[in-house]
Structure 1
């Protein structure tokens, strides 16, 4: 009689098909994980927030968001401009909407008409943004003069001096661990795990030299903070409760801005003109005023383009080597 059962070869083929299917499925899951990691967490959060804003707006008017229509998209962008949103915010919303459509398997809704609408918006509202003022060295010294010599003040002095001397972004500054700091003859060297321009986590170090004055020396300030706070490992900058107890919890990026604004008020300056980023831009401005080369500034600030560094060199350096000075007027 003929063999009507399944042969061993057929069983092997089916098993192989199942294994291949599971392998491909696992690889696809891993690929999606890599896609998620392709953008910085802050960027992903911003995109998610922007997408929620768009979908909520669509729901309010009973319009489709995914896929959206050219008319709906144009109305949304027009509404953003009418409500006074900055060009940079609208640009980010455009990116978020495009990313959401692509991820869902739809074509990008950025058609020629949408690009024309966006071009018109930019020409109408302008793309120049008023940045926060830099904390130049003279202002920083005013702040240091009023910081109290107690636990909270010792932490704040260390944070402000290190943030300035290292031209750190807020996320970089609060992300530093004690283990990232190495003492050398000239000062300290800080290893950054990752940064805005170093998403792959390549080794990136920032050298902080000893200052000329112990009262304004960032290395001295860090060492004093570690000593009085009794910190030997983990997060460098931490919160302090009302009882003067140092937490194991790392400071947030928002806390850096709050600290900066607090002292701007104390020295009589408008806190709305300054933010946590003012330390970074203040370093670039101060260094330029003192004749430091763009190359050396970029080395410390870790900018990848001279154009970006020049954006940070604020109006305080406009009169340095000004061609209209001393020409007989």
Structure 2
């Protein structure tokens, strides 16, 4: 494994910089690279559009959340200060609590391919939602975990990515070729996986992600539950029916035997118990989703 520190062409236009904002850019540790969102390529074919709609709408009503999420995703904990002129396209227009890269374990991750391009291995939903609210030229500090630029070709790269479990090549229970993945990480380029959104909203309602979770944890959950509750039985077009769908899916999850196998990953079986699925549906957390500022309420407020 080899780490790279560098920047991909970024010009910062400074109008009213915060006094210590430059420090958070200049104090980035090795292993962290700065790219624009447009420079990132996906390693999965789909995201949950409804999940992204929730975040986009919440950012509209609560701008601080957008800066908090950005600072967290860049290893800088949370936002410290920002104003009406602050924008994610200008890293000197707001300040995080720590320097970028201070907490690398919280950062979105990438690998470098033989073609010199960067492939995102964690953070497709985050990048998609920031793309939507801030644009393709938004800069982002990411953590480079693997440098595969010395591999002989992209075919070898794709094989290594699968071997290392750094790519998800399934959509609606069908295999997708690495070469068929879209060019960019946006909601327009990536397909919509309804079950991936449903799993997001059912966090803490029907399951809790284990500390040592399987790679692509929620995709495996989504794939498993889609066979129990087919998409054709669900109406996901409005908030009321979405609430019914969430409850039906959540109940189907918790009613499954604790020793039922959810996924087999590289020969290892992961059961309902292993996947952190609850034995009881959490009604209180479920109700929070539909409060005036609940996640599902925001998700269906898009005009």
Q: When the two structures are superposed, what TM-score results if normalisation uses the length of structure 2?
A: 0.29
Larger proportion of strand: 2
Higher relative contact order (CA 8 A, sep 6+): 2
Larger proportion of helix: 1
